[in-house]
Amino acid sequence: MPPRVKTIEERRQLQKLILDAARDLFVQHGVEAVSMREIAKRVGYSPTTIYLYFKDKNDLLQTLCDHDSLILANDLRNINADAVPDAVEQLKVLCSAYSRFALAYPNHYRFMFMTPKPSNSKEKSKLRQGNIEQDAYAYLRSMVQRAFEQQAFRGDLVNMDLIAQTLWAGIHGVCALEIGMAGDDWVNWQPIGQRVSLMQNAMIQGLTRPHTQH
């Protein structure tokens, strides 16, 4: 008797299972060290089954990158920053939302921003670069541009990418320390919410002119 054909929902669930297993293994061992056979073993299927969903490891890696990046982009767009007229306040809301994503999905975050990727795995992902619907960095940059148009930044700051990358780096640093080292008791870690808030406020105060909300 031939095997039963999986429904669309069953195929979707199996693909998610494969992606979740691959993410865990990539984070634990590094992308280069993980084989398709190991991923198949983790999910309890044969390697042949994995190749029905992904043509090779690079295809799986690119799909996972796109999958997790879209989750972040959608999460940020759902904060409705447009409901806050003042662009500086929008940036604060965006920084808070980014940190919430990182801390709610630490394994996604480790994979996206703390796990090196092969250089040849980035071609497919270039398709979404610059699209604020799919690219979280493009969305951040658009918020920075809006603040710039409101003349919110210091007069010497005119490079939108430099401002955006500085904001990103500051919040990333706090989140990465929490994800990677929160269990290390040789540091008297202060509450993560306070650390995120202080970093966010310190960066924005340093980058912007004194202002009142528009």
**How confident is the model over 22-52, as pLDDT tens digits?**
999 999 999 999 999 999 999 999 999 999 9
Angle between helices 87-104 and 192-207 (to 10 degrees): 150
Distance of CA 190 to the CA centre of its chain: 24
Q: Which residues contact 175 (CB under 8 A, 6 or more apart)?
A: 98, 99, 102, 103, 109, 196
**Architecture of the domain whose range is 65-207:** Orthogonal Bundle (1.10)
Cα angle 141, 146, 148 (rounded to 5 degrees) comes to 90
Q: Is the dihedral of CA 129, 134, 140, 144 positive or negative?
A: positive
- Nearest CA to 67 out of 134, 121, 132 is that of 134
Residue pair 124/66 in contact by the 8 Å Cβ criterion: yes
Is residue 81 exposed (0-12), middle (13-18) or buried (19+ Cβ within 10 Å)? Answer: buried
Mean pLDDT by runs of 10 across the 214 residues of the chain is: 66 94 95 95 94 93 90 82 79 93 94 85 58 84 93 95 97 96 93 96 94 54
Chain segment 167-180, per-residue pLDDT in tens: 999 999 999 999 99
- The domain segmentation of the chain, as residue ranges, is 1-54, 65-207
Question: Could you tell me the two tokens for 175?
Answer: 């989140």
Rounded to two decimals, the pTM is 0.84
Q: Which of 126, 108, 119 is nearest to 32 (CA)?
A: 119
Name the CATH topology of 1-54. Answer: Arc Repressor Mutant, subunit A (1.10.10)
